[in-house]
Amino acid sequence: MKTWVIIATISIIIWAIVPIFYRSNKHFYYFLLLAATDITSFLINHFFHVSAQILWIPFTYFIVLTFNRDFFLKYKILILGGLLIAILAGIYSTNIFQMYFVLISNIILFVLFSRYFISIYLNKNRIDIFYIIMVFFEALTVFKIIAFLHQLSSGLNIYFATNILQILIGLFLIYLSIKRKNNRNLEGNRVLFE
Q: Where are the domains of the chain?
A: 3-184
Residue 133 · residue 169 · CB < 8 Å = yes
The percent of residues above 90 in pLDDT, for the chain, comes to: 70
The CA dihedral of 164, 86, 95, 7, to the nearest 10 degrees, is 20
Q: What predicted TM-score, i.e. pTM, was given to this entire model?
A: 0.88
pLDDT classification of 192: cutoffs 50, 70, 90: very low
Residue-level pLDDT at 152: 65
**What is the rounded average pLDDT of the residues 77-102?**
93
Determine the 3-state secondary structure of 45 from DSSP. Answer: helix
**What is the rounded average pLDDT of the residues 77-105?**
93
User: Is the pLDDT assigned to residue 190 strictly greater than 80?
Assistant: no
